[in-house]
Structure 1
Amino acid sequence: MKSNSSTLIKLLVLGCLSVVCVAEDFDFFYFVQQWPGSYCDTKKSCCYPTTGKPAADFGIHGLWPNYKDGSYPSNCDPNNPFDQSEISDLRSSMQKEWPTLACPSGSGIEFWTHEWEKHGTCSESVIDQHGYFAAALNLKQKLNLLQALESAGIQPNGDSYSLGNIKDAVKSATGFTPFIECNVDESGNSQLYQVYFCVDTSGSDLIECPVFPHGKCGSQIEFPSF
């Protein structure tokens, strides 16, 4: 009898663990936007989506659940795949605000599938699939990054600007400290590539980042045209 009880307890514990894995907890989101000119201006190059060249504006890369220790959950629920019908009312906005630049040219479906299945499923205990993509679109509208930079005289024209001035311009306009990620062009110049903000677990309100990603930019950053 004792052996049977022990086995039952083990099964219950394993069952609880499997549920925890699906409804993974997390501490905050990174909301990440990328500059298309920098994505394209590398050895890897880029391909415009099948809908045509995107606007010369920051595009959404993703909304990523994270932990305060710098790690993050991923691929939390293989039983909840991306479903186009869930976001049919958002699709035109997503094509504009969340365009794919990967080669070969695509419609965006593959990009959005990856983002939902790797990152979005880890927030499904808080927001469903439609809510996840809608939250990212709302955040993009709330954070007009290009306007924030241009208002401070920082233009996407191939000139270089100080990292400090870029951060100050964004914080002044949004009220929150961004993390700036750079990439390197074919000439070895540091470029403004991605801008990270932190968002609470509801996916709606900006917060100061409890931890920043790893990475380093040069003191002078090129802002390429697109």
Structure 2
Amino acid sequence: MTMRNHPPVPLRFLLVLLPLLAVASTSLARDFDFFYLVLQWPGSYCDTANSCCYPTSGKPAADFGIHGLWPNYNDGSYPSNCDPNSPYDASKVRDLLSSMREKWPSLACPSSDGTKFWTHEWEKHGTCSESVLGQHDYFQAALKLKKQVDVLQILQDAGIQPDGGDYSLKSIVSAISEAIGYTPWIECNTDEAGNRQLYQVYLCVDTSAAELIECPVLPRNSCGSRIEFPSF
């Protein structure tokens, strides 16, 4: 009978285990590097060719609402749809729903109660932060950060009002950075007349979703030197 030479048992296990450990280590190291907290001005969302629809609960307050809390990498890329086995579950955030309707409203058409919006945000972005934040913690963290940074009040204190007037982009960035100690990024969109307007404010947050930080990387600029701040 021919005898076959086999590697010692420990070596065989190592040959199988090492690649798995390497993948696991890389995965853990690359979960994400920071969050973008994205706050949206409803007046700019609605003042476009596509317009908007108010939530079934009624017209939101004239305030910046949460768009999302988005995990990102320092190289400008981001993870998405990380866990298809973790769907949005309203029962897990039941105690937050009232605050979510107020601070995280959907303006998409047709009118809705926000469930579709929150489902999208959790499944695309939130599932990529599950290593540190469960579903309840994810939504709660965004709400706490929104309360911590009152962007509208900061701008109004600097004389920048949502009155349809034009303001310099530099003055908007300076007002926010002086108030919070970190530089924001401003995203603009275009109204029906083709004017660039203040649409979203990006703030960077650490991986615990608790503290603001200086942004490691910013999206490309999408505003001119002067932008409109429409009413709502």
Q: Same fold (TM over 0.5)?
A: yes
Go from structure 1 to structure 2 and tell me whether the alpha carbon gap of 1:186 and 1:225 turns closer, same or farther (over 3 Å shift).
same
Q: Is 2:210 aligned against 1:204? A: yes
Contact conserved, 1:65 with 1:123, CA < 8 A, in 2? Answer: yes
Paired residue for 2:78, among 67, 72, 76? 72
Partner SS state of residue 138, structure 1: helix
Following superposition, the deviation at residue 160 of structure 1 comes to: 0.5
Where do residues 66-145 of structure 1 align in structure 2 (5 Å cutoff)? 66-145=72-151
Residue pair 1:192, 1:222 contacting (<8 A) in 2 also = yes
Cα distance, 1:44 vs structure 2: 1.2
Name the SS of the counterpart of 2:95 in structure 1.
coil
Q: Write out aligned runs for 1:146-165 (5 A).
A: 146-165=152-171
Q: 1:8 to 1:58 in 2, by over 3 A?
A: same
Change (3 A) 1:41 1:10: farther
When residues 43 and 23 of structure 1 are mapped into structure 2, their CA distance, relative to the original with a 3 A threshold, is farther
Secondary structure of the corresponding residue to residue 89 of structure 1: helix
Q: What is the TM-score with the length of structure 2 in the denominator?
A: 0.90
**Long gaps (5+) in structure 1:** none
Q: How many pairs does the alignment contain?
A: 225
1:194 aligned to 196, 200, 205, which one? 200
Q: Is residue 24–residue 125 contact of structure 1 (8 Å, CA) maintained in 2?
A: no
Closer/same/farther in 2, CA of residues 117 and 20 from structure 1, 3 Å limit: farther
Task: Kindly provide the amino acid, as one letter, of the partner of residue 222 in structure 1.
Answer: E
The CA distance in 2 between the partners of 1:25 and 1:54, in whole Å, is: 34
Question: Do residues 34 (structure 1) and 29 (structure 2) align?
Answer: no
Aligned equivalents of 1:23 and 1:79: distance in 2?
22
Aligned Cα RMSD in Å?
2.1
Match of 1:184, as an amino acid? T
Correspondence list, 1:170-181, <5 A: 170-181=176-187
In 1, Cα distance between equivalents of 2:27 and 2:116:
24
**Structure 1 pair 212–200 and aligned structure 2 pair: CA distance change class (3 A):** same
Task: Summarize the Cα distance change of 1:105–1:87 in structure 2 as closer, same or farther, 3 Å threshold.
Answer: same
Q: 1:43 to 1:94 in 2, by over 3 A?
A: same
Q: How has the CA–CA distance of structure 1 residues 97 and 65 changed in structure 2, closer, same or farther, with 3 Å as cutoff?
A: same
Larger radius of gyration: 2
Change (3 A) 1:16 1:84: farther
1:185 to 179, 188, 191: 191
- Counterpart CA distance in 2 for 1:14 and 1:77 is 19
